[in-house]
Structure 1
Amino acid sequence: MSSYTEHVTRVLTEDREHPGLGTVAVLTFAPPEGEEKRPATLGPQSIDAVTGEIAAALDRAEAGEIQAIAMTGTGRVFLAGADLSMFADPAAAGNVESMTRAAHDLQVRVRTSPVPLLAHLNGVALGGGLEVALMADVRTAAASVKGIGVPETGLGILPGWGGTTLLQSVVGPETAVRMILEDPARDKQLGAEEALEIGLVDEVAEDLDEALDEFAALVAAHIDVDVADADVVDPVVAEAAAEAPSDALGAWAGRTAPLPGVDTPEAEALLDALDAAHGSAETRRTWAARLEGQGAPSVGRALELLQKLPGSSLPEALAREGEALADLVRSDAAAASIYSAELLRRGKPGRRPVEGAREITRVGVAGAGLMASQIAAQLALGLQVPVVMRDLDESIAAKGLAAARDVVARTAARGTIDEATATTIAENLSSTTDLQELAGCDLVLEAVPEVLAIKKSVFAELESVLAPDALLVTNTSSLSVTSMSEELAHPERVVGLHFFNPVAKMPLVEVIHTGATDEATLATGLEVVRRLRKFAVRSADAPGFIVNRLLFRVLGEVLSSLDAGADPAEVDASLDPLGMPMRPFALLDLVGLAVADHVGTVLRGELGDRFHASPGLGAMAERSARFTEAGKNSVHPPVSPTVAEAFGTGADPAAASSAPVGDALLERVRDGLAEEIGIMLDEGVVERPEQIDLALILGAGFPRHRGGVTPYLDSTGAAQRVAGRSFHGEAFTARR
């Protein structure tokens, strides 16, 4: 029994007369009636509707009733691709193979059409939506369109409705390989102008009427080339059209072969693209192999399909594509990736204000250091109200103000805001040493050193000048917000907003509420995060909150093995199968060894010996040493010899030989995470495992193809083994 409910896409049909084309069958893809704000997506019934109406239009073309076919969408969406919620239900996901056959059959048939096809991208065209557009001979796009691409390999699958096979024939091998393999990993999608530059769209047209005019002009260059006026037709176009083979008798003559032949320049260019560099230390092939070893096979499978294209017929290539998609849809990586995508979709900042939030007209920031200036800039950009930074040292305050204004200037330089807006925002930023200048603020955020006594002193000082309902906000990364506020007269107006460094780039803010935090304060904190266009994840006040608590549970296991005398290089490589963006030693260097040592010590003191306080880390921090060395020619930076010196001293040889590395260390990390997450759920630090996964994906770079972490712990059995339960029932255990 399926729990999936499809919002079936409609296809609105009409005939239009165009002086340069004749009768045009116009197919408009639209969401269900009464659900106009939803994007038009492709589920089982929707793909039947879309392919059925295109097929009906082809029937009419073959009968001579129409002279062209045009496809477009409504609102800001052409077609948004496959309905991801379908994949969450195994019964519904079983329809993918039949949906793929329908799409593939049509990809073959449109190439025999006696009339040309147009796809006018009025809005988003992603995944299967763009693959429908690839059925057309000509594509146009409105200038404002964003969201064009094939994100499938980032979802654990691949463009399986013709995209992997056909994209190279439209944009060329190098661009197609980049779009299919690399762009999804970078969350990169195209706008109309870039799509025009690479040849994915042929012209920019603001609406369907203009698109039809452009379509007519392009079609005219291909009609009756052998008898056309040579003064009108571009000789290059004429030659290409004359030499272009037709896939069937009567097929429109403007089409070229969709696949490269063997030993052709196009085939060579495709193979060169697959062997090209991915970054400075590996090729696309070696990167794909590395991803597969980390549990993400989709990039490697797409690369394999692309390599086999030269010399294939279109039906052969599409059959391989369909088989690969069917395999990947059933994989752990696809299930976890699509779970992650849904988390990110549901968690993204909303358009409506948070109910119950107070109005914020002026903001203060206590502190003017690196984090304080970054946060002040984001508050000024997001809230667009006056923001005053206060520091005891006048030179530090001035330096912090300059840094915050520089963030605003760089934002304008990227084109995110115009110069006039940037000037206004920069003028809204100010600095002071005078506490009284914070008196009129509705919210003051402290970003002073991570020492409880200092933060308590700052809060007490602020409370003496602020109105009773003004919010007091802390940016602490691990200290108790309850302890920070317990001596205040109004602890109910205290909330934690834990920003991550670098603030401008990191999309997560942990929103920390204590037992005393009132609803209006919490709502206002959430609203501030929303207006900054960041993701808010709520956490109760508990040591390390979500991200740091779990990150340091991982790092504690790594450092424990090192302290026992394990080989540093083996330890550093042990977690590679997890698929983190960097190895543990590089992460420690990024965090800063003194900070890592401090946080680890705090968490051990608060949470007990589940957390390891590392003597070796302390020694490294005292030396101001680093775990890694610079290395441009390797994917992972090499381990510094200093690590063995700092951790090897005094290690018991017997303990060193039994210290976990490789699979043994990875299992300890999985078990530790399962244990800690179980405790956090039981203690109410978070209400649902989804909060943990969203926080770890956005705040620590945990891989989307692992679903963050809890689906991975379910699928590996760690959750059941350690916590005595699966975090998601059978959703991620059925494949084991």
Structure 2
Amino acid sequence: MTPTSANAGAASSYTEHVTRVLTEDREHQGIGTVAVLTFAPPEGESRPATLGPQSFENVDAALTRALERAEAGEIQAIALTGTDRVFFAGADLSMFTDASVQEIIDPMTHRAHDLQVRMRAAVVPVLAHLNGAALGGGLEVALMADVRTAGPKVRGIGLPETSLGILPGWGGTTLLQSVIDPAEAVRVILEDPARDKQLSATEAEQLGLVDVLVDDLESALDHLATRIADGAVDPSSRPDPIPAAGSERAQALLAALDAPHTTAETRREWAARMESVGAPSLARTIGVLDALPGSTLSESLSAEREAIVGLGTSDAAAGSLYAAELLRRGKPGRRPVEGAREIRRVGVAGAGLMASQIAAQLALGLQVPVVLRDLDEDIAAKGLEHARGVIGQAASRGKLDEESARQVADLLSATADVADLADCDLVLEAVPEVLKVKKSVLAELEGVLSPSALLVTNTSSLSVAAMSEELAHPERVVGLHFFNPVAKMPLVEVVRTERTSPEVLATGHEVVRRCRKFGVESADAPGFIVNRLLFRVLSEVLRSADRGADLSEVDASLDPMGLPMRPFELLDLVGIGVADHVGKVLADQLGTERFPVSQGLERLLESGEAGTVRDRSQVHPQVSDALRTAFSGVSAGGADEGGSVPVGDELLDRVLRGLAEEVGLMLQEGVVEQPEQIDLALILGAGYPRHRGGLTPYLDQTGVSQEVTGAAFHGDRFTH
């Protein structure tokens, strides 16, 4: 089916891949004639079925026809299902990026709500068999049914909308609490999306979201027949989905909204905090849920409609949906990277904490022998033990079964003899971040490896070109910067030098793909992507701290950005020694005007103390006495011309302007080709907020990119 453009009369660039609804009648001995509606992607396409304006029109028409046939007595039940591994993937998110989004979403939402009401008045039972994923609007379609079943292996059930800057606005916010325990409904709507959690079929059954797990539609119909026969499904007396004011269900719902999100804040407080940093979807969703008890279905659906239409045009939705698309496109592919070499054996030079984590990841991903090598046999043995422990932890989290874990662990070995790496196709060095040491290790490896073997560095900030300049074959060197902790961090920066061969670069990307990580390519430049930008932020923060600003005020100054942690907590996480080292590398390579060396940070490193103190009753750790001592008495330039040291909004402005400048330079220098690479790297490697789109959409929305670089990074997409 040819894609169609929505709202042809409006200034719309949205092109829809129109979902088909395949209809057939199926005879069932215990039910009679069942109208089976199957949601399918456009003919000849393998993409999941999604809901755009024309798709929803098709769904509406098919369901309306089924309801009419039920009224006429032609059918005795309606069954909804999907194709392949997808029931319904939900709304087509690309329509939210269109300039005419409000004109698209409002009538679709009205149609969805009208269907919810009419399906609840169906004179025959309605079944939804989740043959595959049911997300967002797809699950809301399933909520139209009296009975829901699912395949035992189905994954991807949930309502992720609040993480996309909107809310479940096609009936989900209103109706989920009528199907499962209200406390669980609140968790599924508010907290699961923030944790990127989706339900498996088993979990959905445990919650009561699906009634039973069955292998196929025929078995689902058998279950429906049983429910009809025992009187559990009666279309003439469906319960009111809205809890009465003061009822037990209403009290449970309101209590869930006031329940702890963490030890430091309730869900309401969390939602209010997120709204204060530019993410209003949680607060709007809580508002709809708050008003639910004692209202009517029509009133609650109207509240949903008002909320989703308003949120759909917000900066947070624009940033969130942009981020979602980046993550979708950047996800590790199923096909091998073209031009990559075959890797049959891998070596890791070094056996410390980072090296052993990477070795475990390579064994898990590549499924080939991995040899850890360290000069010290005891360190090598400890590294091997730790790497095998990482495999065991993966098994305990359900990532692989125990037998597979044993097989992968057996692929790992350790040695103190560099000759044992001679037959490796790839060796990755993960030794201390000292250029002289890394050059020595690479030179030693080149002396024993075949000329075709890859040499890989895990450096986080040093020049890969400088590391390899004295090698006979620098073209076989590539950087793969894994982030710590390796098992949890999904990003790997793939660093190319001017001399890295295309085949070696492709192989680097293939290694990342097989490790199921997101690879973002960077030119060989100081700090690559993530560290360069993180330290541009920290440099401004430390500049104010060195100049005598109140450290608590400095720490809180960047809160409006919505970052996952405050600056001094980030320093503790990175490690004071690592931060001091990387900061000095960047100062040396890029200049102290943008990356000044912090005297206070040096003194904190000398003290051996942390910069923050964790209090579980507070959202953010507090500044430590050691940090105050380290920065007391430091004099690095004093106040600005106006007599003040930047804190609060002034410091935030300096940070944003500095980031815009740095992004502009990185694009100009060819560190990355597109701002999307920067945003994906910051989201995955530094936890930058998705509702900000990572970074560059936020810089466009605030106008800072235009002011600093003379142009928005994304044209007029995020500007007002």
* SS in structure 2 at match of 1:699: helix
Instruction: Report the alpha carbon displacement of residue 17 of structure 1 after superposing the two structures with TM.
Output: 1.1
Assess if the C-alpha contact under 8 Å between 1:565 and 1:653 holds in 2.
no
- Structure 1 distance, partners of 2:565, 2:91, is 31
> Are 1:212 and 2:195 counterparts?
no
* Alignment match of 2:156 (pick from 147, 170, 175): 147
Structure 2 residue runs of 5 or longer lacking an equivalent are: 1-10
* Residue 173 of structure 2 corresponds to residue 164 of structure 1: yes
Question: Relative to 1, partners in 2 of residues 1:399 and 1:653: Cα closer, same or farther, differing over 3 Å?
Answer: closer
Q: 1:136-161 CA deviation, whole Å, 9 max, x = no partner?
A: 00000000100000000000000000
Counterpart CA distance in 1 for 2:392 and 2:198 is 25
**Equivalent position SS for 2:471:** coil
Deviation at 1:326, TM superposition (A): 0.3
| Correspondent of 1:109 among 115, 118, 124 | 118
The question of 1:706 aligning with 2:692 is answered yes
Distance 2:634 2:719 in 1: 43
Asked if structure 1 preserves the Cα contact closer than 8 Å seen for 2:546 and 2:634, the reply is no
The equivalent of 1:303 in structure 2 is: 286
Partner of 2:550: 567
Q: Identify the residue that residue 3 of structure 1 maps to in structure 2.
A: 13
Q: Residue 296 of structure 1 aligns to a residue in which SS?
A: coil
1:404-483, aligned counterparts within 5 Å? Answer: 404-483=387-466
Give the deviation of 1:411 after TM superposition: 1.4
- What is the rounded CA distance, in whole Å, between the counterparts of 2:495 and 2:20 in structure 1? 44
* Other-structure match for 1:27: 37
Query: What CA RMSD, in Å, does the superposition of the two structures yield over aligned residues?
Result: 1.2
User: Following the alignment from structure 2 to structure 1, what is the Cα–Cα distance between the partners of residues 340 and 399?
Assistant: 27
Matching residue of 2:673? 687
In structure 1, runs of 5+ residues without a counterpart are 223-236, 242-250
In structure 2, what residue type is equivalent to 1:637?
A: P
Selected match of 1:14 from 7, 16, 24: 24
Q: Which residue of 2 aligns with 1:129?
A: 138
Secondary structure of residue in 2 paired with 1:253? helix
Query: For 1:506 and 1:43, how far apart are their aligned partners in 2?
Result: 34
What is the aligned partner in structure 2 of residue 554 from structure 1?
Answer: 537
Q: Partners of 1:281 and 1:262 in 2: how far apart?
A: 30
Report how far residue 641 of structure 1 moved.
Answer: 1.9
Partner residue in 1 for 2:623: 639
TM superposition shift of 1:650: 4.5
1 CA distance for matches of 2:180 and 2:76? 26
8 Å contact from structure 1 (residues 153, 181) kept in 2: yes
Deviation at 1:433, TM superposition (A): 0.4
Q: 1:432/1:418 Cα in 2 relative to 1: closer, same or farther (>3 Å)?
A: same
Cα deviation digits, residues 480-527 of structure 1 (max 9, x gap): 000000100000000000000000000000000000000000000000
2:61 maps to: 52
Q: Which amino acid aligns with 1:376?
A: A
Is it true that 1:342 corresponds to 2:325 in the alignment?
yes
Three-state SS of the structure 2 residue aligned to 1:512 is: strand
Deviation at 1:254, TM superposition (A): 4.8
Cα deviation, 1:157-187, whole Å, max 9, x if unaligned, reads 0000000010000012101100111100000
Aligned equivalents of 2:321, 2:624: Cα separation in 1: 38
CA distance in 2, matches of 1:32, 1:597: 55
Distance 2:31 2:286 in 1: 39
Match of 1:66 in 2: 75
2:562 partner amino acid = G
Which residue is 1:676 aligned to?
A: 662
1:409 deviates by 1.4
Q: Match for 1:665: what amino acid?
A: L
**CA-CA distance at 1:414 after TM superposition:** 2.1
Separation in 1, partners of 2:405, 2:555:
44
Q: What is the aligned partner in structure 1 of residue 610 from structure 2?
A: 626
Give how far 1:348 is off. 0.3
- 2:308 aligned to 321, 325, 335, which one? 325
> Which residue matches 1:726?
712
SS at match of 1:118: strand
Query: What is the Cα deviation at residue 648 of structure 1?
Result: 2.2
Using the TM superposition, give the Cα deviation of residue 566 of structure 1 relative to its aligned residue in structure 2, in angstroms. Answer: 0.5
Alignment of 1:204-353 (within 5 A): 204-222=213-231, 252-353=235-336
1:360 to 326, 333, 343: 343
What amino acid maps onto 2:288 in structure 1? L
By how many angstroms is 1:653 displaced?
Answer: 11
Paired residues of 1:86 and 1:93 also in contact (CA < 8 A): no
- 648, 654, 667: which is aligned to 1:662? 648
Task: Please give the alpha-carbon distance, in whole angstroms, between the structure 1 residues aligned to 2:18 and 2:602.
Answer: 59
Instruction: Write the deviation string for residues 672-713 of structure 1: whole angstroms up to 9, x where unpaired.
Output: 000000000001000000000000000000000000000000
Give, in angstroms, the shift of residue 93 of structure 1: 5.4
1:612 aligns with 2:599: no
Task: Report how far residue 632 of structure 1 moved.
Answer: 1.0
How many angstroms apart in 1 are the aligned matches of 2:492 and 2:681? 8
Q: Give the whole-Å Cα distance in 2 for the aligned partners of 1:151 and 1:526.
A: 30
Check if 1:377 corresponds to 2:360.
yes
| Equivalenced residues, count | 707
Between the aligned residues of both structures, percent identity stands at: 68
Q: Answer whether contact 2:547 2:634 (CA < 8 A) is retained.
A: no
For 1:234, the equivalent position in structure 2 comes to none
- Structure-to-structure mapping, 1:181-220, within 5 angstroms: 181-220=190-229
- Distance in 2, matches of 1:623 and 1:94, equals 60
Contact in 1 for aligned 2:135/2:156 (Cα 8 Å): yes
Contact 2:95 2:104 in 1 (8 A): no
- Pick from 42, 51, 55: which aligns with 1:42? 51
What letter corresponds to residue 644 of structure 1 in structure 2?
Answer: R
1:521 to 499, 504, 508: 504
Local SS of the residue matching 2:612: coil
- Equivalent residue letter for 1:538: E
Q: 1:615 corresponds to which letter in structure 2?
A: Q
Please give the alpha-carbon distance, in whole angstroms, between the structure 2 residues aligned to 1:377 and 1:654: 49
* 1:310 alignment partner AA: P
1:78–1:124: 8 Å Cα contact kept in structure 2? yes
Quote how far apart the aligned CAs of 1:252 are. Answer: 1.4
Q: Which residue of 1 aligns with 2:127?
A: 118
SS at match of 2:560: helix
Pairwise CA distance, 1:655? 2.3
Aligned-pair distance for 1:628? 0.5
For the 8 Å contact 1:4–1:92, the answer to whether it is kept is no
Q: Secondary structure at the match of 1:23?
A: strand
> 2:348 & 2:547 partners in 1: Cα distance?
44
Distance 1:7 1:501 in 2: 40
Question: Aligned in 2, Cα 1:650/1:194: closer, same or farther, shift over 3 Å?
Answer: closer
Structure 2 residue 397 is the aligned partner of structure 1 residue 388: no
What displacement does 1:2 show?
2.4
The residue type paired with residue 284 of structure 1 is R
Distance 2:149 2:211 in 1: 6
In terms of mean alpha carbon deviation, does 631-640 or 145-154 score higher?
A: 631-640
Q: Secondary structure at the match of 2:564?
A: coil
Q: Distance in 1 between matches of 2:571 and 2:637?
A: 26
Moved more, 206-215 or 639-648: 639-648
Provide the rounded CA distance (Å) in 2 between the counterparts of 1:208 and 1:311. Answer: 37
Task: Give yes or no for the alignment of 1:536 onto 2:522.
Answer: no
Check whether the contact 1:139–1:202 (CA below 8 A) recurs between aligned residues: yes
In the other structure, the counterpart of 1:227 is none
CA contact (8 A) 2:480 2:508 kept: yes
